[in-house]
Structure 1
Amino acid sequence: MYPIDLSDKYGIVFGIANHRSIAWAIAQILHDAGANLAIAYQNERVKNGVARLVEDWEGDTPLIECDVSDDANVEAAFDTVGDRFGSLDIAVHSIAYADRNDLGGPFVDTGREGFRLALDISAYSLLPIARYGSALMQQNGGSIITLTFQAANRVFPGYNVMGTAKAALENEVRQLASDLGQQNIRVNAISAGPLDTLSSRVISHYRDMKRIHAERSPMRRNITTDEVAKAALFLCSDLSGGITGEILQHVDTGYNFR
């Protein structure tokens, strides 16, 4: 158990694909802190794998299919959460996707459909999650967090359209924080260094990105998903009660200032 006690909190985590997912590390640490969680999975293809990850958890963990490209799907997911939990305190958005053909080569060659797809899944999806999630946070407020990357502000060769998506996502964090602040709902993001996930493996030059990060960062290593999860635990807890509209820059072993 962690010194942060979330046993009176209810949350939902979006974005678990497998055991390497950042969303899974966050879900684990929130669960270890006592949070009552629902897990949203994308489709039937990943359902069994997600179910195996949580099968050792005590209690009943709702598994909810949710395709975030469909607003009706997101609304239905939160309807299920409302039926099961009654209210919500935490929503974690750890979702990013782009066509692998748009994660390499010149950015100028990005097609309209590839651009639309990356922005829709990686950035816009936070809006319906915040819209329907905040409706369940009316009584006590809550915390909504998402994951971003330094490519929102700097050029990382090969990251391409995902950098544009992350820039949009960070702007959304500030606007949503402004919208929802009077309801005591906080919206923040964590800017994490490169991590080995299902999504990162298709990024052109990812291995170079990770190697350079380890060589240049003051701590001379890459970060871990556990370190990102601990930052998420803080932002989901009442310890961060006065923080909203922030991009936690950076959980990256100091690479950003070298």
Structure 2
Amino acid sequence: MSIPFSLEGKRGIVLGIANRHSIAYGCAEVLSEQGAELCITYLNEKSKSFVSPLAEQLNSRLFLPCDVSNPGELESVFNEAEKVWGTIDFVIHSIAWSPLDELHGRLVDSTSEGFSKAMDISCHSFIRASRLAESLMKEKGGTLITMTYYGSEKVVDHYNMMGPIKAALESSVRYLAAELGASNIRVHSVSPGPMPTRAASGIEAFDGLMSDAVERSPLHRLGSPDDVGRLVAFLISDWAKTQTGSQMFVDAGHHIMA
């Protein structure tokens, strides 16, 4: 007997949608299709015009500004979610940033200021979101998911300072999973392969990374934001209730190849 997959009754926050090509939007679209209620955030007034129509399409009850580098904005998102819903079931964190000139330069030449800000936005914001989510998940637990990349494990040309930052993010996932497990809060990192998103366009020679992924991956294709969304939907569902602390790839198997 087949069992219908549904996220009806689940509510959560999606951080990081920039446009309809974003991995975060691919996640939000699938979650909405499966019945989840969403809080959608946008970075600033400039990005609002791109994200607002998407939030409407997703029937998002909450549509809020969130620049994690601005004190109080992340906290405000969770406060509003608590006011409207009382509790939440998941958080999707799809946020990464580094100074463009330092991303294009050598790690050894990175500045303390640039590296620290990139670490705060790309990694510590997930830790802060986890702390804020904990109090809203105490009744029945929940799921926290962030996005990483294979350049955390191996040296990938032109990924530069983001490699060690993503490595810190992945380590944080494991520690958060251990700390929050007693509260039935599950924590995962999802590692998409190269995809033509706005964020990826900042990486030099990114077309070459995509070509290499297609050529060398066992399935000879790229993943899509919707592919990521389907994995995320599984991870936040009750079907994955005994899984936590994992790193899961959506890259057609590219990460297994030498």
Question: TM-score normalised by the shorter chain: which range applies?
Answer: over 0.9
State TM-score, norm by structure 2.
Answer: 0.95
Q: Equivalent residue for 1:255?
A: 254
Aligned with 2:95: secondary structure? coil
Matching residue's letter, 2:256? F
Root mean square deviation of aligned Cα: 1.4
Q: Give CA deviations for 1:101-138 in whole Å, capped at 9, x if unaligned.
A: 12223221112222112111111110110011111011
- Displacement after TM superposition at 1:71 (Å): 4.8
Cα distance in 2, alignment partners of residues 118 and 205 from structure 1: 21
Cα pair 1:123 1:165 within 8 Å, conserved:
yes
Cα distance in 2, alignment partners of residues 204 and 99 from structure 1: 13
- Displacement after TM superposition at 1:4 (Å): 2.0
Give the 3 Å change call, closer, same or farther, for CA 135–71 of structure 1 in structure 2: farther
Cα pair 1:188 1:246 within 8 Å, conserved:
yes
Cα pair 2:106 2:161 within 8 Å, conserved:
no
Matching residue's letter, 1:187? V
- Displacement after TM superposition at 1:95 (Å): 0.4
Matched, 1:65 2:65: yes
The gaps in structure 1 that reach 5 residues or longer are: none
- Displacement after TM superposition at 1:76 (Å): 1.5
**5 Å matches for 1:226-241?**
226-241=226-241
Give the 3 Å change call, closer, same or farther, for CA 155–19 of structure 1 in structure 2: same
**5 Å matches for 1:134-149?**
134-149=134-149
Cα distance in 1, alignment partners of residues 58 and 74 from structure 2: 25
Q: Equivalent residue for 2:5?
A: 4
Q: Give CA deviations for 1:56-85 in whole Å, capped at 9, x if unaligned.
A: 344x52101112124522111101000011
Matched, 1:24 2:25: yes
State TM-score, norm by structure 1.
Answer: 0.95
Identity of paired residues, percent? 39
Cα distance in 2, alignment partners of residues 8 and 105 from structure 1: 46
Q: Give CA deviations for 1:126-171 in whole Å, capped at 9, x if unaligned.
A: 0110011111011010001011111111001111111111001001
- Displacement after TM superposition at 1:226 (Å): 1.3
Give the 3 Å change call, closer, same or farther, for CA 85–213 of structure 1 in structure 2: same
Write out the 4+ residue segments of structure 1 that deviate beyond 6 Å after TM superposition: none
Q: Equivalent residue for 2:55?
A: 54
Q: Equivalent residue for 1:38?
A: 39
The gaps in structure 2 that reach 5 residues or longer are: none
**5 Å matches for 1:197-236?**
197-236=197-236
Cα pair 1:104 1:157 within 8 Å, conserved:
no
Give the 3 Å change call, closer, same or farther, for CA 71–238 of structure 1 in structure 2: farther
**5 Å matches for 1:165-180?**
165-180=165-180
Matching residue's letter, 1:255? H
Aligned with 1:55: secondary structure? helix
